Amino acid sequence: MAWNPQQYLKFSGHRLRPAVDLLMRIADIEPRRVADLGAGAGNVTKLLRERWSDAEVVGVEGSPEMVAAGRKAAPDVEWQQQDLASWNPAGQYDLIYSNAALHWLPDHTRLFPSLLGKLSPGGTLAVQMPRNFLAPSHVLIGETALNGPWRSKVEHLVTPPPVEAPSFYHDLLAPLSDHVDIWETEYLQVLEGDNPVKEWTKGTWLTRYLDVLQGSEKAAFEAAYGERVAKAYPKNAAGQTLFPFRRLFMVAQRKP
Ligand SMILES: C[S@@+](CC[C@H](N)C(=O)[O-])C[C@H]1O[C@@H](n2cnc3c(N)ncnc32)[C@H](O)[C@@H]1O
């Protein structure tokens, strides 16, 4: 999928907040090696760098556009352009942090225990993933995909939500961890501008669909989704759009 750092960062304040909330829940540790998985445009990795200024911090990121943005935002971080599906680092990390990225990877039953295995004993895994896939913002993308001339090109993308319930992650992590803290937060995001929920998903989930379409068909798909989503999230009297967004957080310490 082609990531566009400018589109993604249009809502940087709202997108940064859960990253900071996750960071704040990490205990007072002194890691020597820190990895930020799916590090994106580097604005979050920069905060990891600032908090643990003596640590070796690595930003692992698959998109060349994001890596380029990350190198500018956080030049004193080691950037690795790498698919997380095949990330197999030499040596263990003391902190593996990932904000809004692991929902792009399949097979969480295998992925999460494998990430714990890449930590040093007592090391920390801290993850946030969106869990908003059953909200109109996301359901309407699938609905648009299945109801238009583009159907045969995009229907394979209409898949079950990639993030499971909190208890699923608890059951995976608890046997391998000393302590697991899992919680959800639904942020009531107040957005400004014209059809901002479309602009939001255009920076992330909608891109999967737009990427496989071309020219006028791509524009027609975006317009058809835009019409649906604008109705689902009408402006309030103040001209703002309220966009509730649920996110799942977890912090686990690998057993020593
Ligand atoms: C929604 S962005 C989050 C970026 C950053 N963590 C933040 O909080 O701003 C998700 C990032 O994960 C990256 N990503 C998704 N799947 C990936 C994969 N399989 N390998 C490497 N990076 C991936 C994307 O390129 C994108 O930059």
Our measurement of the distance from residue 36's CA atom to the centroid of its chain's CA atoms, rounded to an integer in Å, reads 12
Q: Which domains does the chain have, with CATH numbers?
A: 5-254 (3.40.50.150)
pLDDT digits (tens, 9 = 90+) for 49-64: 999 999 999 999 999 9
CA of 140 to the centre of ligand 1 (A): 23
pLDDT digits (tens, 9 = 90+) for 166-219: 999 999 999 999 999 999 999 999 999 999 999 999 999 999 999 999 999 999
**CB-based contact 41:9 (threshold 8 Å):** yes
Residue 12 pLDDT > 90: no
Q: What is the pLDDT of residue 2?
A: 77
Which atom number of ligand 1 is nearest to the Cα of residue 66? Answer: 27
Residue 3 pLDDT > 90: no
Q: What is the pLDDT of residue 190?
A: 97
User: Beta strands 119-130 and 33-37: pairing type?
Assistant: unpaired
Q: What is the pLDDT of residue 158?
A: 97
Q: Average pLDDT of the chain?
A: 96
CA of 62 to the centre of ligand 1 (A): 7
Distance CA 34, CA 119 (A): 10
Q: Is 84 in the pocket of ligand 1 (CB under 6 A)?
A: yes
Q: Is 2 in the pocket of ligand 1 (CB under 6 A)?
A: no
Q: Is 100 in the pocket of ligand 1 (CB under 6 A)?
A: yes
Residue 38 pLDDT > 90: yes
Q: Looking at ligand 1, which residue's alpha carbon is closest to its atom 10?
A: 101
Q: What is the pLDDT of residue 62?
A: 97
Q: Closest Cα partner for 22 from 181, 174, 204, 253?
A: 181
Confidence of residue 159 (pLDDT cuts 50, 70, 90): very high
CA of 61 to the centre of ligand 1 (A): 6
Q: Is 45 in the pocket of ligand 1 (CB under 6 A)?
A: no
Q: What is the pTM of this model?
A: 0.95
Q: What mean pLDDT do residues 93-122 have? A: 98
**CB-based contact 86:111 (threshold 8 Å):** no
- C-beta neighbour count of 220 within 10 angstroms: 15
Q: What is the pLDDT of residue 165?
A: 98
pLDDT digits (tens, 9 = 90+) for 112-151: 999 999 999 999 999 999 999 999 999 999 999 999 999 9
